[in-house]
Amino acid sequence: MNLLAGLIMALGGILAVLAAAGLHRFSTPYARFHAAGKASPVAFLVTAVGASISLGFAGAALLVIASAAMILTLPVGVHLMFRAVHRTTPPSLVIDELAPAEQAAQGHQR
């Protein structure tokens, strides 16, 4: 059981290294946010599963609360960063679905 927990936690560590390498591998800010915002919470979740197997119910309760807080909040933060980059830099995208939506929202405000 302890070896299983260690293997799952090591898998989470490998995923964290891949998430950090994705920040260097991709060239545009959107692709970098994609790598960082998807892979790093998954790395933490896999490690939390391994630590829960090792620690028992007392540790698993706290890890479930921390994982739920991360899963609920981190995609929202990364999408806010996507929107901030889209508003501040000139977009060079193939398909840009956010620009007409934001123009419609501004027209509705005025």
What residues line the site for other proteins (CB under 8 A)? Answer: 3, 5-7, 9-10, 12-14, 16-17, 19-21, 23-24, 29, 32-33, 36-37, 40-41, 43-44, 47-48, 50-51, 54-55, 58-59, 62-63, 65-66, 69-70, 73-74, 76-78, 80-81, 83-85, 87-89
We find the least distance from the C-beta atom of residue 95 to other proteins, in angstroms, to be 21
What residues have CB less than 8 Å from 29, skipping those under 6 apart? 85, 89
Q: Are 36 and 22 in contact (CB under 8 A)?
A: yes
We find the least distance from the C-beta atom of residue 101 to other proteins, in angstroms, to be 15
We find the least distance from the C-beta atom of residue 58 to other proteins, in angstroms, to be 5
- Residue placing its CB nearer to other proteins in the complex, 14 or 104: 14
CA–CA distance, 94 with 80 (Å, rounded to integer): 21
**What does the longest C-alpha to C-alpha distance in the chain come to?**
62
We find the least distance from the C-beta atom of residue 93 to other proteins, in angstroms, to be 16
DSSP secondary structure code for residue 93 in this structure: -
Q: Are 78 and 33 in contact (CB under 8 A)?
A: yes
